Every structure is written in structure tokens, then in C-alpha cells.
Chain A
Amino acid sequence: MRPTWAGRCSSLLKLEDVEVYHGQSLVLKAISLHVQAGEIIALVGANGSGKSTLMGALTGLNPVRRGKVVFLGQDITNKQPHRIVASGMSLVPERREIFNALTVEDNLILGAYHRYYRDKKNIRQELQNVLDMFPALRGKEKRLAGALSGGEQQMLAMGRGLMSNPRLLLLDEPSIGLAPLIIQEIFKILLNLKELGTTIMLVEQNAQLALTYSDRAYVLERGELVLDGASSALLKDPRIEAAYLGKKAL
């Protein structure tokens, strides 16, 4: 086996010394990380630590001032968002950003907009697959997205993200504002997706949840990566327990 091929194949996404500003303030400092194909990666951190900013930087929403983002062996730093989607990375954003005044079905189809005119036939079928994955949406295809419940909206946002056929799905706080039962349901679906071969990067404030369901995790603190490792190990790490899992430091 050629080592270069193996390296490229396993490292789906790679960040090298990425720096991001909001206006004048440095929000992300020298972030370097990598995501392997097939794993669920968690990114945990407190409010304001820069998690969403990082998601934005990956998807072209926030400009990267320094450093490099490499996805599937290609430099995608500062590419326009719609090009990044087309290259196989899709973000389900923190505020969901669904199209309230369009129907559920239209929302889902627009998820595949970048290839709609090339791939019309398959898209109908994929729409059915996504509805199978989120049965809660079935029967509500013609409803306006704005009229869905919070949990349904989150599922719609995820389904819409999946419609682009991503190699890497980025999820920014999918659990926020949802009841525990629905959270359970959503995370089961994530495991399911992993089985089907989609790589997932998961942003969560709820570290317990994130670490339970992920393979590996990074911890972000005030714009810097301070810890990383296997999720199971981090779950037992005293620093994590103190800061994120609500247990007293030893």
C-alpha cells in the first residue's frame, strides 16, 4: 500500500494553525486538528469558546485569516460556502437556519440544490431515504417548515444537511432546547449514520452527551484546543469532569 494514499484516505479533514477573527478580536488561535473517515468527533467547550466560529470557518462562513483547511486532500480555505457544500461537507447550523416560509419537502430538496439539475431522478429517492431516517417528518412534507415543533425542525435541518450527500456532516449543538427523549432519538440516528459511512463532527456544550456518543474529542477553551483524545478516556479525565461534567475537582 502506498502510504500517501493511506494518509489521504484516513484523514478526511485537516486543520493547520487556523486563525479566525471576528472583526478585530482573535477568536480562534492556531487550531490544528484532524478528522478520520468513519468516526464521530466531538468538539466540546463552554459558551463563547469558539465552537460555532470554527464550524463557520470550515464551511466558508467565517474568513480564515491564517492557516489552512484541507478537506479530501484539497485546500478549501476560504472557499465560498456553496462550493464547500458541493465538495462534500455540510453543516447543520446552531440556529438550524431552516427556510420557514417553504415547505418541509422544499427545504429537503434545497439541501441537494448544488446537484439538483444534474441529479433530479436520484434526489426523489434520496428524499424518501431521509424521510425513512426521520419518520417524524413523514406526512408533514407539505407543511411550512416554520410550523414544525422544535424537535421536528432540528430533524428537518439534519435531513436537509444530509440531502447534500456529505462525506462529513458537521452538527452544531443538535441537542439544544430539545427534550431528553428527542435528544436520544437524534443521537441514535447519528449512530445509524455512522454505520452507513458518514463521518460526523459534533459540537456540544453537553459534554457528557457528546463524549458518550463520539469516538474522539477535542476540547476548546477561549479559542484554543486544550485537550484531545479518545472520548471514553476524556469522560474519565478529572479536568473534564471538573469543568464540563459538573463534578467537583479532586
Chain B
Amino acid sequence: MDSSSLMQYILTGLAQGGLYALIGLGFVLIYNVTGIINFVQGEFVMLGAMLAVTYERMGLPLPLVIVFAVVSVALIGAGLEVISIRPARRATPLTLIIITIGLSMAVRGIALLIWGTDPLVIPAFSGGGPIKILGGALMPQQFWILGATAVSVLGLYIFLDLTVMGKAFRACVINKMGASLMGISPRRMSTLAFALGAAVGALGGVVFAPTLASYDMGMALGVKGFVAAVLGGLTSVPGVILSGFIVGIGESFGTAFISSGYKDAISLFILLLVLLVRPQGLFGIYGGKRV
């Protein structure tokens, strides 16, 4: 194996990992505020991709396609929270997780009705051939994926660290009771968390749409995002981003040197290993929550 091949595995892993990180970020946002592992997350990605296809076919220009798809899915996320999670908020976390699994199946079913089973794609955001980096090659679209990850992290940083609403959101994460005593409504923050989680998931779906938009794509991507989130400790933004890349690169090397068949097994294996050695995840901290 020469160095350009090595570089290719790393680049492939990074591009894929960027997507996993983005999906994992949604898990982290929602988990922190609501304590729910939201298995609809993968479907938010699917909806983002599907709506991107729909808006693109309506002839909208690309920037509007992106914005509309992300905003639509954010609203859907908020709506789902209001109709299904909020009424059941006194239920146990396990029940809530089961609710989200049920929801994900319903969303998938509705998507099947609307968009059918054919895999769809939209044109790549920017044309041109592969871009060479140290002997490896990436398609321009993969830079869009990495860019979307960067934009999401930056956007979240601005929101969470620099705005008072974002700080109220974090207050809810740190101490729900304290927050409600300060006039912050945990219910509204839970809805906001779903909207934000849905939005970052949808953004992942939109930038992935030139590769694939299919009603059944959500589950597999959701699982990868979940692995990244848990690996990152479920509470930390830098943790989930780094973990996303670790999963992506692990997969890419696993495919090259073990077998593509074990690719999913590899990420789950990494997860189990980490959970055994560091149950709080690679970057999690016991007790103190942070976003």
C-alpha cells in the first residue's frame, strides 16, 4: 500500500465521518435536553434528502432548496415532538425511546407513500471532477458534506454560547429544575431541541442527496450517527464530531483491510469496546452535563 492509497482511505473516512458526525449531533442535542435517544433522527436525514429532491424538482435554486428542506424538517421535528413526545413526557425513558422507534417507522411508511421506493438523486451542488489531495481524491460534494458539518458546529456554537436563548437551552440541559424556576419552559426547550436536531439531520440529508435519497436510507445512517453520539459520550459536541470521524475512518480502513461485510460490525465493535473500557464514552464526563 502506498501513501496515496492510505490518503484515500483517510479522505473517504473523513467524508463519510462528517455525515455521521452531523447525524450524531442531532442525537446529542435531543438527548441532552430530553434524555431521549431519538431514533427518528435517521428519518430526519431521509426527510432532508427527500425534500431536497422534491424542492429541486420544483425548480427552486439550490440555496432555497437547502433552506426550505432544513426548515421544513425542523418544523416536522418540532411537530412530532409536540404530538408524540410531549403528551408522554411523564413516561419512562424506555417508553419514550420506543415511541421514537414507532415514530420512525411511521415516518418511513409515509415517505414510502409519498416518494415511492426508487432511489432518487439531485445533481451535485457544484460541478467538476474529483479534487486531488496528497494523492487521494474527493468529489466536490464531499467537501459540501464536510462544510455542512463545520457550518452546523459553528452555528450551534453561536447559538449555544452567544445568545441568551441558547444559554437558556444549555441551562435546561444543566439543571432542568433550576431552569424552570427561572422562567425557562423545559417543554418549549424540548420542542426546540427536536427542531434543532431535525435541522442538523436534515442538513446532512440535503448534502447527501446527490448521492442518495431513498425512503429507507434513514435507519442505517441513524445507527451510524447513534454510534458516533454514544462514542462521543452523548453529551459533548466536540466528542460527537470527533467520534463521527473515528467511525468513518474506522469503516473505510475496515472495508479495505477486513471486509465490507464487517463494516457495520466494526463501528458497533468500536462502540462496545469503548463502552466496556470507558462507559461514559470517549469524551463524556460523568455527572456534569455539557453541550
List residues of A whose CB falls within 8 A of some B CB: 59-61, 80-82, 85-86, 90-91, 93, 96-102, 106, 109-117, 146, 160, 164
Contacts and interface: CB of A to CB of B under 8 A. Distances in A.
13 contacts: A80-B187, A82-B183, A90-B181, A91-B181, A93-B178, A97-B175, A98-B175, A100-B175, A106-B167, A114-B182, A114-B183, A114-B184, A160-B182
Given A99-B170, A102-B174, A109 B164 contact: yes
Interface residues of B, number: 20
A61 B168 contact: no
Contacts of B171: 99, 102, 106, 110
Contacts, number: 78
B164 A110 contact: yes
Contacts of A81: 180-181, 183
Interface string B129-161: 000000000000000000000000000000000
Nearest to B168: A113
B157 to A, nearest CB: 15
Given A85-B182, A114-B184, 13 more contacts: A82-B185, A85-B181, A90-B181, A97-B177, A97-B181, A99-B175, A101-B170, A102-B171, A109-B167, A113-B164, A113-B182, A146-B288, A164-B182
Interface in B90-135: none
Interface string B277-291: 000000000001110
Given A86-B183, A106-B167, A114-B183, A101 B174 contact: yes
A143 to B, nearest CB: 15
A105 to B, nearest CB: 10
A110 B184 contact: yes
Interface in B158-211: 164, 167-168, 170-171, 174-175, 177-185, 187
Contact of A110 (B182, B187, B288, B289): B182
A179 B177 CA distance: 26
A102 B182 CA distance: 14
B181 A93 contact: yes
A110 B181 contact: no
A90 B184 CA distance: 12
B118 to A, nearest CB: 46
B290 A97 contact: no
Question: For the complex, would chain B's binding face be called helix, strand, loop or mixed by DSSP majority?
Answer: helix
B289 A101 contact: yes
Nearest to B290: A101
A17 B46 CA distance: 54
A80 B167 CA distance: 20
Contact of B174 (A80, A99, A112): A99
Most buried by A among B167, B180, B181, B185: B181
Contacts of B185: 80, 82
A110 to B, nearest CB: 5
Contacts of B168: 110, 113
B72 to A, nearest CB: 26
B167 A110 contact: yes
A106 B170 CA distance: 11
Nearest to A97: B178
A100 B180 contact: no
B160 to A, nearest CB: 11
Contacts of B181: 59, 61, 81, 85, 90-91, 93, 97
A113 B183 contact: yes
A118 to B, nearest CB: 12
A114 B184 CA distance: 7
Most buried by B among A80, A86, A115: A80
Contacts of A96: 178
Given A99-B175, A109-B164, A61 B182 contact: no
A85 B183 contact: yes
A100 B288 contact: yes
Nearest to B178: A97
A112 B182 CA distance: 7
Contacts of A115: 183
Contacts of A117: 164
Given A80-B185, A99-B175, A101-B290, A61 B180 contact: yes
Contacts of B184: 82, 110, 113-114
A114 B171 CA distance: 13
Interface string B21-60: 0000000000000000000000000000000000000000
A100 B174 contact: yes
A80 to B, nearest CB: 7
A102 B174 CA distance: 9
